[in-house]
Structure 1
Amino acid sequence: MLPSLFVAHGAPLLAIEDNEYTQFLQSLGKTLPKPKAIVLFSAHWEAPVQMVSEVAEYSTIYDFGGFPEALYRIMYPAKGHLDTAKEMEQMFTDAGVSFQVDTKRGLDHGAWVVLKMMYPDIDVPVVSMSVNPNLTPEEQYKIGKSIESLREKDVLVIASGGTVHNLRAVKMMADNGSTDQWALDFDNWLAEHFEKWDTNSLFQYEKLAPAAELAVPPYGNEHFIPIFYAMGAADTSKKASLLHRSYRYGNLSHSVWQFGEL
């Protein structure tokens, strides 16, 4: 059985950089057994109802501006996987999860930056998925839990976002290796409670976690909440492992969490 993963996609520049984190993601893709398909929840696809992609071949969305031209030349024309999409739709129906089908949307950078690092040969089909920041963590967890059995069928569930992602706090001009203590405090609290599978505390992270208002700012939680989808997809095993953690720009976290076991 494949695990589920929460993978930080960082800043778009990650796609053309060679550093500790990009090297880790490249290694991770080679270490895991090759999946039949990837189901990917992206922080950059927000929708009020769960969207399931039935795209045959994805276009590449450049949902950012002001970056080097090299970023806009990257293409990741992954194939879709209709069988997995249809199977998920049945799982959602059985679990009482409302959903809609999308047949046009391409892959945003929350998806293709991660996929490009882990599967540069574009040889694994993908089912792109939305997230809903307006749901409670319990509801987001339930969506992940409803598709947990896909992991038994060689489908890799990836949720792409970032545990600490506050664009008003990042220091783009001070990428000197230092990390703000508040970011460390928040991520350390998460690690303690993920490793205990303490969903009661995690679902109340806004009230209980130190510096939660800085790490997950009130104006945007879309990058943090994908982690609950990934966690829910390993509900039976209830095992969490931190595979990587580093920081850029003072506090932008590059965390990779594995939920469940191979």
Structure 2
Amino acid sequence: MANVVAVPSNQSEWRTALDSLPSTPQKIPAFFFAHGSPALALAQMPARLRASGRSGFEQYQGPNGPLANFLRDFGPTLLQKYNPKAVVVFSAHWETLGERLVTDYGDENPLLMDYYGFPQESYELRFKSRGDKQLADQIVSLYKEAGQLARTTSKLEPRGSDGRGFEGPGLDHGVFVPFRIMFGEEFAIPVVQVSLDSSMSPEANWKLGQVVKGLREENVLVLAGGLPIHNLRDFSSFTPDTAQPIHLAFHKAILDALLIPNAQERKQALMDLTKHPGFRPCNPREEHFVPLYVAAGAAEDENVKILNELYGIPTVAFGV
């Protein structure tokens, strides 16, 4: 098994890793990426958060931290290497039980600002993109063929609470906040979002990725965003300087599982992560972790490449 220290841990190394991705538009890898929080888009953290001793979080996952810097390199690489005709994205912030929902938002995707108590600037963020009805219908058909309930959802159907004071539709902040860093505030390529399985079952979410696996051969980029260490009850867990040994051990376990070369053994190791003693201290609930399984399922029998091993905010290519 490869040594953990061999994977990218700084900008020079992750740029080398990004450059080494195969340029294969005929079969695009699927990616798990750390989507961060609204803090990525803010000039500074809200005063209430700074006062609560979370300055380390601001430095690490804020607009000038390593996550933002990685996303600025990651997005252009995806466009240059793959020139995708569309993006299908799964986010930790949209889950449905028993039925897949697929956005069909027409010629402009609305934004769901699903966060509260942030500065006014966070509610004025822009990310202009469009949907793709044909692709949305195709995805619904794929899930139905796989024996799952699925349907599209339009701008007329609210999907959650918006911090501006209403129930609304739209791409959630786990999509538009990182995407505006990755791709700019206006993005010409269609974006379709698919809901996670709120059972939080690793196997169920792995199957979500399996269903859309074939889209990778149709010049469609499949992205799944989350944060594999996400404990809002313990902000020390978010940064390597303050993380406890149990948090660091779990992060290492994730990397070790991903670095297993045999696909079946790697899958078992990934599934076993939910039994690791550090899983619950890092994830009181699983919604930010299971997107990893979606991306893995979209390329389950193929090779894996860790593009950065940054504590708590890794990005991984499946199918290289």
* TM-score of the aligned structures, taking structure 2 as reference length: 0.74
TM-superposed CA distance for 1:205, in Å, is 2.2
Find the counterpart in structure 2 of residue 188 from structure 1. Answer: 252
Partner of 1:36 in structure 2? Answer: 85
**1:15-30 equivalence runs, <5 A:** 15-16=41-42, 17-30=63-76
Q: Structure 2 vs 1, CA of residues 229 and 244 (structure 1 numbering), >3 Å: closer, same or farther?
A: same
Which residues in structure 2 correspond to 1:66-145 (within 5 Å)?
Answer: 66-104=117-155, 105-120=169-184, 121-145=186-210
Helix, strand or coil at the partner of 1:246: coil
Cα contact 1:7–1:114 (8 A) shared by 2: no
Q: Is the 8 A contact 1:91 1:146 kept in 2?
A: yes
Distance 2:29 2:247 in 1: 26
- Structure 1 SS opposite 2:309: strand
* Contact 1:5-1:158 at 8 Å conserved across structures: yes
Q: Measure how far apart 1:176 and its partner are.
A: 8.7
Structure 2 residue corresponding to 1:6, chosen from 20, 27, 32 = 32
Which of 299, 302, 305 does residue 241 from structure 1 map onto?
305
Distance change (3 Å), C-alpha of 1:9 and 1:135: closer
Q: Tell me which amino acid in the other structure corresponds to 2:36.
A: G
Mapped partners of 2:239, 2:141: distance in 1: 46
Equivalent residue of 1:44, what SS?
Answer: strand
Determine which structure has the larger helix proportion and give its number: 2
Alpha-carbon distance, 1:110 to partner: 0.7
SS in 1 for 2:143: helix
- Measured after TM superposition, the shift of residue 135 of structure 1 is 4.5
Corresponding residue for residue 260 of structure 1 = 319
The 8 Å contact of residues 144 and 229 in structure 1, kept in 2 or not, is answered as yes
- Aligned residue number for residue 250 of structure 1: none
Say if 1:161 and 1:176 are closer, same or farther in 2 by CA, change over 3 A.
closer
Q: 2: distance between equivalents of 1:70 and 1:244?
A: 30
Structure 1 residue 70 displacement after superposition: 1.8
The residue aligned with 2:5 is none
CA RMSD in angstroms, aligned pairs only: 1.9
Structure 1 residue 175: Cα displacement:
6.7
CA–CA distance in structure 2, aligned partners of residues 176 and 4 of structure 1? 27
- Opposite residue 153 of structure 1, the aligned amino acid is E
Question: What secondary structure, in the 3-state scheme, does the structure 2 residue paired with 1:131 have?
Answer: strand
Task: Find the partner of 2:222 among 157, 169, 174.
Answer: 157
Q: 1:183 to 1:149 in 2, by over 3 A?
A: same
Quickly say closer, same or farther: Cα 1:68–1:9, change in 2 above 3 A: same
Cα-to-partner distance string for 1:29-65 (whole Å, 9 max, x where unaligned): 1112221111011111121121111111211111112
Q: What letter matches 2:30 in structure 1?
A: S
Structure 2, unaligned runs of 5 or more? 1-26, 43-62, 156-168
- Is contact 2:200–2:286 with CA below 8 Å preserved after alignment? no
The one-character-per-residue Cα deviations of 1:74-103 (angstroms, maximum 9, x if unpaired) are: 021310011221221222122212212211
CA contact (8 A) 1:25 1:118 kept: yes
Counterpart in 2 of 1:53? 103
Q: Gaps spanning 5+ residues in structure 1: where?
A: 248-252
Cα gap change, 1:101/1:130 in structure 2, threshold over 3 Å: closer, same or farther?
Answer: same
SS at match of 2:112: coil
Specify the code of the residue in structure 2 equivalent to 1:86.
D
CA contact (8 A) 2:137 2:152 kept: no
Q: 8 Å contact 1:162–1:224 — kept in the other structure?
A: yes
TM-score (norm 1): 0.89
